[in-house]
Structure 1
Amino acid sequence: MSEPGALPLSPPPSTLPPPVPPWASAAGDAAAAPPLDTPPLLDRSAPRECRVLGDWTVLSLREQYGALQAAVADTTAQASDTLWDLRAVGRLDTAGALTLWMGWGRKPPRRLLWLPEHVTLFAQFMQPGALPQRRPRLGPGLALAGDRLRGFLSHAHDLVALLGQLLLDGLRMARQPGLIGWREISANVFRAGAQALPITALVGFLVGLTLSYLMSRQLRAYGADIFITNILGLAVLRELGPLLAAIIVAGRSGSAMTAQIGVMRVTQELDALSVMGISHTVRLVAPKVAALAVALPLVALWTSALMLLGGMAAAHSQLGLDLATFAHRLPAVVQPANLWLGWAKSMLFGGLIALLACHFGLRVRPNTESLGQSVTQSVVTAITLVIVVDAVFAVLFSEVGL
């Protein structure tokens, strides 16, 4: 707002005599050319009035932005109804206008006199969202916690959206079986299942050997050698076999899935699929989720068998327990419900690992640094959630098969 006789968004009325620019000669030669790089000044000699003089350009303001902005803000704070006169300014560009605008508190003063060419400069700052709003400063701990919370909510939102789209596309594929990528499912079953058998066999055998060796020493001290079959069979078939297989597959196959989709993002293959009208979930996500949900229970069964084999070897070495006796007692002491529970968990683990791998792969930005970060996040998140889900299953089904 301006005082009577002056409009904030229009040139001053003709009734007000134009001021003499500071570079004019003593004889009143207002047409004389201003010198270059006239220092920016604020003339506050008149009460409740501030005249802006000199050149307010990016070159004239160098190393003075903060001081001049503080001076403008101080003048505004001392009297909110100060008359700001910009008619005598030499040159004014966006940098000078921004300095004044920030000093005014991101809004025009109540009393303002300016020239027509100044309207365009300041109009760009009056648009909504033209300048980022100042956020209250938080401590480093709160700021970090806020960033982590926003990141978690963003991931949760995208993951739920991906799951919903997968369910909708699953219904569409059920009505149109021709959309199902059987070849892609078969290839993922081979890569995530068959090719993972050697490493899971080695790790499973060694883990079973170690567990049985440690438990045998403790059981022998109490004369309970025969109970090695109960403890090892229940622990392996119900918990350790599915969990160990899921962790290995998450680190091996989950990272490969994330990297595959991430590279497609970097090479713009995902954009090409979108242009051709091919759904990412139908072509990429659904086959991987289905394949891993089928392959992981088989890998878990294989891993459990090798763990039991390693446990039998250690029990025979430490306790002298016959291998035939171990194999004969195992079905009698471990109920079939434990095996079915392990299989059900493995199917859920497989679908969860594949879904997370695709989620992080689709969030990759088109650069190699983002690709590496997404692969790491995919593996860490998948392993963490697998352990959390396994703990939930252990609590919910604590009375089943025991």
Structure 2
Amino acid sequence: MPGVHCLACQPGGRGVILRNFGTLTGMSISPPQLLRTDTPDGPCAVLRGRWGAADLGQRAQWRVLRRQLAALPPAPDLAWDLSGLQWLDHVGAQLLWNHWGRAWPARLVAGDAHRTMLERVARLSVAPAPPPPPWRLMNQVHRLGELVLHAMEHVRFFVQLVGQLGLDVLRLARAPRRGPWRDLSGHLYRMGTTALPITALVGFLIGVVLAYLMALQLRQFGAESFIVNILGISLIRELGPMLAAILVAGRSGSAITAQIGVMRVTEELDAMRVMGIPQGFRLVLPRALALMLAMPLISVWTTLAALAGGMLAADLTMGITPAYFAQALPRAVQVSNLYLALGKSAVFGVMIALIGCHWGLRVKPNTQSLGEGTTASVVNAITVVILVDALFAILFKNVGV
């Protein structure tokens, strides 16, 4: 067959002509075959027939060809003669390339069309992914160590942030006229005033749901009047402050991280450092003070909305009038519960602001880091709110009860 030649694949490249194996007979359409012959240069695997998708897809022919391929594994001294092929498409070429171990054989006889097909398959074939490494204890220990070191780095940065906040508070006390009061008032409005509608709505609905659920149980024992005690102590002491803190953490905490993160992306933080403007005094301090002042007020607002919802549901389900509810509430809940709620709400506000500033200052100058930092800020703030609330519940378990 004209144009048939042999390629020897060397480490530096493939493509030197060795010899011509001659023209093979049997050009009539025949199934794919693989035969082994001996030549003066050594053993040779001769391919015949049609090596296409339609022919290889027939079950009987594929079984025979699979046994023939298994009997001729690739070897350094084994030549491959493709000059007798009547048809070769991508499926047949991929089958040969995989059988060769994704490497060119030392001796190959192929026509120009077949060689082009094989080169295309070799170029486009993707190497199989390496198997995952076996599970080893040392690898898991190293991974755990990396996580611990990463967490300790965040703790160290957060402690530095808290210490810097304390120094900034002392600086503000020494020179109150130089304080960032305009920033403080702006943050009070954005984090406090604009949060009142959503906190009131959520608090009202929570009060309605709690009152309806309690009514179903208290009616069975004829203790409908105790709904005032249950709603009062649960909403004023626990649910009101925690609901407000979670809403503010998702709303204002993410905004703090996004604002400072955008300043990192736009290199405003670097400009502040070059100009000698302290980032803690201008960025962290006003946000922490604003949330410390706004959170107790938002907590009281959310609690009042929840009590209003519970009062309405109690009136509709059990006939407890709002007048009786308002008269019985001061006797059922001591005022110390309100003081405790206000105190821990202020702590919630400071923690939310510090966590938002922490993740905002650690944002890298790219949008992906900004999104990851905002998500981490919200998750960590909500987690810390729940942990601090549990700590307050343990420390002050005998207060107001």
Report the TM-score range of the alignment, normalised by the length of the smaller protein.
Answer: 0.5 to 0.7
Corresponding residue of 1:147: 146
- Runs of 5+ consecutive residues of structure 2 not aligned to the other structure: 1-11, 13-135
Corresponding residue of 1:317: 316
Query: Deviation of residue 147 (structure 1)?
Result: 2.3
RMSD across aligned positions (CA): 1.2
Larger radius of gyration between Structure 1 and Structure 2: 2
TM-score (norm 2): 0.65
Native 8 Å contact 1:262 1:361 kept in 2: yes
Superposition map of 1:3-402 within 5 A:
139-402=138-401
The CA deviation string for residues 108-166 of structure 1, in whole angstroms up to 9 with x for no partner, is xxxxxxxxxxxxxxxxxxxxxxxxxxxxx864433332222112101100000111111
Q: Aligned equivalents of 1:166 and 1:241: distance in 2?
A: 28
Q: Aligned equivalents of 2:344 and 2:139: distance in 1?
A: 40
Corresponding residue of 2:103: none
Q: Aligned equivalents of 2:206 and 2:218: distance in 1?
A: 18
Query: Deviation of residue 175 (structure 1)?
Result: 1.1
The CA deviation string for residues 54-112 of structure 1, in whole angstroms up to 9 with x for no partner, is xxxxxxxxxxxxxxxxxxxxxxxxxxxxxxxxxxxxxxxxxxxxxxxxxxxxxxxxxxx
- Runs of 4+ off more than 6 Å: none
Secondary structure of 2:250's counterpart equals: helix
Secondary structure of 2:382's counterpart equals: helix
Q: Aligned equivalents of 1:353 and 1:303: distance in 2?
A: 17
Q: Which moved more, 1:315-324 or 1:242-251?
A: 315-324
Q: Aligned equivalents of 1:257 and 1:293: distance in 2?
A: 14
Secondary structure of 1:298's counterpart equals: helix
Q: Aligned equivalents of 2:221 and 2:141: distance in 1?
A: 53
Corresponding residue of 2:84: none
Query: Deviation of residue 333 (structure 1)?
Result: 1.0
The residue identity in structure 1 corresponding to 2:307 is L
Q: Aligned equivalents of 2:214 and 2:258: distance in 1?
A: 40
Q: 1:140 to 1:210 in 2, by over 3 A?
A: farther
Identity of aligned residues (%): 55
Query: Deviation of residue 315 (structure 1)?
Result: 0.7
Q: Aligned equivalents of 1:313 and 1:272: distance in 2?
A: 54
The CA deviation string for residues 165-202 of structure 1, in whole angstroms up to 9 with x for no partner, is 11112212211223311111111111111000111011
Higher strand share: 2
Q: Aligned equivalents of 1:257 and 1:354: distance in 2?
A: 7
Native 8 Å contact 1:337 1:400 kept in 2: yes
Q: Aligned equivalents of 1:395 and 1:138: distance in 2?
A: 38
The CA deviation string for residues 6-62 of structure 1, in whole angstroms up to 9 with x for no partner, is xxxxxxxxxxxxxxxxxxxxxxxxxxxxxxx9xxxxxxxxxxxxxxxxxxxxxxxxx
Native 8 Å contact 1:289 1:355 kept in 2: yes
Q: Aligned equivalents of 1:397 and 1:363: distance in 2?
A: 35
The residue identity in structure 1 corresponding to 2:222 is G
Q: Aligned equivalents of 2:148 and 2:324: distance in 1?
A: 54
Q: How many residues align?
A: 267
The CA deviation string for residues 228-284 of structure 1, in whole angstroms up to 9 with x for no partner, is 000100000000000000000000000000000000001000010111101001100
The residue identity in structure 1 corresponding to 2:373 is S
Q: Aligned equivalents of 2:137 and 2:267: distance in 1?
A: 39
The residue identity in structure 1 corresponding to 2:223 is A
Query: Deviation of residue 218 (structure 1)?
Result: 0.3
Secondary structure of 2:357's counterpart equals: helix
Corresponding residue of 1:84: none
Q: Aligned equivalents of 1:160 and 1:138: distance in 2?
A: 33
Q: Aligned equivalents of 1:179 and 1:368: distance in 2?
A: 34
Q: Aligned equivalents of 2:196 and 2:230: distance in 1?
A: 25
Query: Deviation of residue 317 (structure 1)?
Result: 1.1
The residue identity in structure 2 corresponding to 1:251 is G
Native 8 Å contact 1:179 1:282 kept in 2: no
Q: Aligned equivalents of 1:305 and 1:169: distance in 2?
A: 34
Q: Aligned equivalents of 1:244 and 1:139: distance in 2?
A: 43
Query: Deviation of residue 320 (structure 1)?
Result: 0.8
